[in-house]
Structure 1
Amino acid sequence: MKLIEYADRDMLAIDLANMLAGELESCLFNHDHATLAVPGGSSPGPVFDALSGVGLDWGRVHVLPTDERWVPESHERSNARLIRQRLLTDKAAGGVLVPLYRDGLEPEAALEQIGAALAPNLPLSILLLGMGPDMHTASLFPGAPGLAEALAGKGGPVALLRPESQPDVRVSLTAPVLDGALSKHLLIFGQDKREALERARSLPPEEAPIQAVLSEMTVHWAE
């Protein structure tokens, strides 16, 4: 794990966006497409804003959420909606969204279809993750029903989780899929999350799911 500290959040957003853009450009130079997996939440928004203004061959960039609430894209809590509004806009408007939600299906019935759509996009080229103070990442919440399956990843590239602290069923990329990304970045703000990350390093993934993906991770932190 490599930790990069920034003077402030604005500088972090700009520098991280430039780093992601450089990795995407390098990937596109060597491959026919690049797969970028990104989180929801408020923290990555400024990174998305900066990255969307970078001139790349966005038509060859496949963007997917690391996890998704089982709600349609029109819903305010949809991560796909956030990605369209904040990342796939401006110069990045031509990027290809690979959604995890399937309209009209129950999540259990959709897993095989989602996995088939993800197969051509794996391994992930570039991964950006967030982390909560409880040390969850994507929708891998400590103690959540479905966590063991998501950590093992034996049922395919996505798993269902039902965190008791959350209002929606979640579908998430599994820990092996997240950890298998060719380049991995973690974005965290504040002293509480930095302390949580330090605690996670000595805990098992069942208690601190972020631990499952920390190998060769670059952590970007600002107060």
Structure 2
Amino acid sequence: MKIIDYPDRELMALSLADRLASELSETLRMQGHASLCLPGGTTPGPVFDTLSGVDLDWAKVAVFLNDERWVPEDNPRSNTALLRARFLRGPAAAARLIPLYAAAPTPEDRLDELTAGITPHLPISVLLLGMGADMHTASLFPGADRLAQALAPDAPALMALRADAAGEPRITLTARVLKAALRLHILITGADKRAAIERAASLPLEQAPVRAVLSHATIHWAE
């Protein structure tokens, strides 16, 4: 686990956006296509604002979320809606969005279809994750109903999970897919999350699911 400390959040957002853009550009040069996997929530918004304006061949980039709440885009808790508003605009509007939600009563109803959409874009070229103070990442929550399966080496690419802390049912990439990313970054802010991610390294995996990816990750932190 490598931690990069930044003097403030603004510099972190600018530096991280530049690094993600450089990694995408390198992948496009080498492979002709790339995949970019991004978190929901408000913390990465400033990164999205900068990255979306970078001059890349975005039409050759597939973009998808780490996870999604099982709600439609007109719901204020939709990560997809946030991604459209903060990232898929300007030059980045040309990127191809791979959905993690489709209208149905439960995520299980559309799981096979959504998995088929994601699979051609694996392994992930560039992955940005967040982490909660409870040490969850994506929707791998401590106490989730199928967490052990989602953390297993033979997990499917996508799973539906439910946890008290999650609110709605979730659909999430599993640990196997996350840690197979070619470039893996975690963005956190505040003293509580810094302490949590350092503590996670010594805790059992099901208590601290983020530990599944720590050995592969660069952590970006600012107070």
TM range (shorter): over 0.9
Structure 1: gaps of 5 or more residues: none
> Could you tell me the TM-score, scaled by structure 1's length?
0.97
Instruction: Verify: 1:136 aligned to 2:133, yes or no.
Output: no
Which residue matches 2:13? 13
- Which amino acid in the other structure matches residue 113 of structure 1? E
Instruction: Percent identity, please.
Output: 54
For 1:42-191, what aligned pairs fall within 5 Å after superposition?
42-104=42-104, 106-152=106-152, 154-191=154-191
Cα distance, 1:209 vs. partner? 0.3
Secondary structure at 2:160 match in 1? strand
Letter in 2 for 1:138: A
After TM superposition, what 4+ stretches of structure 1 lie above 6 angstroms from structure 2? none
CA RMSD of aligned residues (A): 1.1
User: In the TM superposition, what are the counterparts of 1:21-36 in structure 2 within 5 Å?
Assistant: 21-36=21-36
Q: Deviations over 1:34-86 (max 9, x none)?
A: 11001001110000001011000000111100000001122211111111110
Q: CA deviation at 1:160?
A: 1.1
SS of aligned partner of 2:55: coil
TM-score when normalising by structure 2 = 0.97
Q: Structure 2 counterpart of 1:52, which letter?
A: S
For 1:119, the aligned partner's letter is T
Is 1:153–1:174's contact at 8 Å kept on the other side of the alignment?
A: no
Partners of 2:72 and 2:154 in 1: CA distance: 27
* Higher deviation after alignment, 80-89 or 15-24: 80-89
Q: CA deviation at 1:167?
A: 2.1
Match of 2:109, SS state, is helix
Confirm or deny: 8 A CA contact 1:153 1:159 kept in the other structure: no
Point out where structure 2 has 5 or more consecutive residues left out of the alignment.
none
Rounded to whole Å, the distance in 2 between the matches of 1:137 and 1:155 is 16
Partner Cα distance (2:207, 2:159) in 1: 18
Q: What is the number of equivalent residue pairs in this alignment? A: 223
The answer to whether the 8 Å contact 1:150/1:160 transfers is no
